[in-house]
Amino acid sequence: MHVKKRNTRKYAPVGARPGTLVLDTNKEITDLELIRFSSDHFEQKNISLAELDKLNEELHLPQKKVNEIFWLNVSGLGNEQVLRKIQEIFRIHELTLADIVNVPQRPKIEEQEDYVLIISQMLWLKDPSTISNEQVSILFGKNFVITFQEDPGDVFDPVRDRLKKSKGTIRKSGSDYLAYALIDSIIDNYFPILESIGEILEDLESALISNPDKDTLKRIYNLKRQLLNIRRTIWPHREVFSAILRDEFQSIKKSTRVYIRDVYDHTIEIIDVIENYREIAAGFMDVYLSSVSNKLNDVMKVLTIISTIFMPLSFIAGVYGMNFENMPELKTTYGYPVLLTIMTLIGLGMILWFKKKGWFKI
């Protein structure tokens, strides 16, 4: 498993006007999804740029639809025309739009006169081996919620399903509750990723016990880097939810803040799990180094035993290999086979002695 690499953040030129947008042309807007709902009404459709003007009229005019909530989901941040139109309709400050477009930003929460902006980092499994990481900006006001995504695809399908089937209180609650439901989906989706990492840790443990090699070491390093990246994305969320619970936000009702506490608890739990996994991964590194060291010691032990067995045999062969004229036993008829027999018996005797000592138990 690996985390999909993100592009390096692009900054506005030095001295540029505050609020300058740095657009990524590879992330053109591919989809504008509008969901409008009330306690007894639900509608979901894709809209065009031309239909945004009509949305502008419906958003600010009729009192008869004061209880209707608009959720606009924007996929892609590369079309300035569409972004400027959304900025105009929802009266978004230029600095807020810059935070949304100039990704990645650190997760944070900001409140303006007519809306609240929450910037989050969404992790989700695109496939069993790839974790997608992208910024999601949630901007909500009195009767609207806008979500800005870098790429198509998200973790909000359970929220869409609840809205469609009118499950729970989501259709009867305000835009702040919808924003909570979206951020809750983002945070809860960290848990399946952590479960996958837990399975990887189990596989690594088995590999360390059976046969640690360079590939195992590489997998440990990759896992430690992934955990560091996930920790870096989840840690600032704690500050965001803590600020919501601690400070007063006009656009967030007290009844919704109770649910935010639950998201805060989930965030703390995720951070704890990540820290535990990092300690386990660090322990795996120590186990790997110990295993490699023990394996090397075992090899050296075998070589030492072999060298020790051949030391007396080499001594005997060296003595009778000297080229002196008057050496005893040099003319003996059976000297050669007798000497080989003695050397064999010495070798076997040493092997039996080492075995009795238990030095062959590797």
Is 108 within a domain?
yes
**Residue of 309 and 92 predicted with greater confidence:** 92
Q: Which of 70, 67, 72 is nearest to 38 (CA)?
A: 67
pLDDT tier at 352 (50, 70, 90 boundaries)? confident
**Among the three residues 142, 170, 198, which one is the final residue of a domain in this structure?**
170
Per-residue confidence (pLDDT) for residue 235, from 0 to 100: 93
Per-residue confidence (pLDDT) for residue 338, from 0 to 100: 81
Instruction: Give pLDDT tens digits for 28-70.
Output: 676 899 999 988 889 999 888 778 877 777 676 554 455 789 9
What share of residues in the chain are helix, strand, coil (percent, to 5)? 55, 15, 30
Per-residue confidence (pLDDT) for residue 124, from 0 to 100: 81
Is 305 within a domain?
yes
Instruction: Give pLDDT tens digits for 178-225.
Output: 999 999 999 999 999 999 899 989 988 888 887 778 888 888 888 898
Is 186 within a domain?
no
Instruction: Kindly state the percentage of the chain with pLDDT values over 90.
Output: 33
pLDDT at 287 over 50: yes
Is 178 within a domain?
no
Q: Which domain CATH number covers 35? A: 3.30.460.20
Instruction: Give pLDDT tens digits for 135-175.
Output: 999 999 988 999 999 888 889 999 999 999 887 788 888 89
Mean pLDDT of 9-23: 68
Mean pLDDT of 294-299: 77
d(CA 261, CA 279): 27
Per-residue confidence (pLDDT) for residue 64, from 0 to 100: 45
Q: Which domain CATH number covers 303? A: 1.20.58.340
Per-residue confidence (pLDDT) for residue 354, from 0 to 100: 78
Mean pLDDT of 68-86: 89
Question: Do 160 and 301 have their domain in common?
Answer: no
CB count within 10 Å of CB 127 equals 8
List CB contacts of 76: < 8 A, sequence separation 6 or more: 27, 28, 29, 30, 31, 149, 150, 151, 152
d(CA 299, CA 147): 60
Listed in order, strand segments (DSSP E) in the chain are: 2-3, 31-38, 41-46, 69-75, 108-111, 116-127, 130-140, 144-149
Mean pLDDT of 75-96: 88
φ and ψ of 361, to 5 deg = -85, 95
Is 212 within a domain?
no
Per-residue confidence (pLDDT) for residue 205, from 0 to 100: 87
Mean pLDDT of 355-359: 76
**Among the three residues 170, 188, 216, which one is the final residue of a domain in this structure?**
170
Tell me what the pLDDT averaged over the chain comes to: 84
pLDDT at 331 over 80: no
Per-residue confidence (pLDDT) for residue 128, from 0 to 100: 64
Per-residue confidence (pLDDT) for residue 108, from 0 to 100: 94
Question: Do 308 and 162 have their domain in common?
Answer: no
Question: Do 163 and 305 have their domain in common?
Answer: no
Is 347 within a domain?
yes
Is 199 within a domain?
no
Residues in the chain, how many?
362
pLDDT tier at 97 (50, 70, 90 boundaries)? very high
* Domain tally, the chain: 2
Mean pLDDT of 332-354: 83
pLDDT tier at 77 (50, 70, 90 boundaries)? confident
**Among the three residues 131, 146, 170, which one is the final residue of a domain in this structure?**
170
d(CA 124, CA 314): 66
Per-residue confidence (pLDDT) for residue 14, from 0 to 100: 64
Mean pLDDT of 250-275: 92
d(CA 237, CA 226): 18
pLDDT at 275 over 90: yes
Is 134 within a domain?
yes
- For 335, the domain range is 295-357
pLDDT at 134 over 70: yes
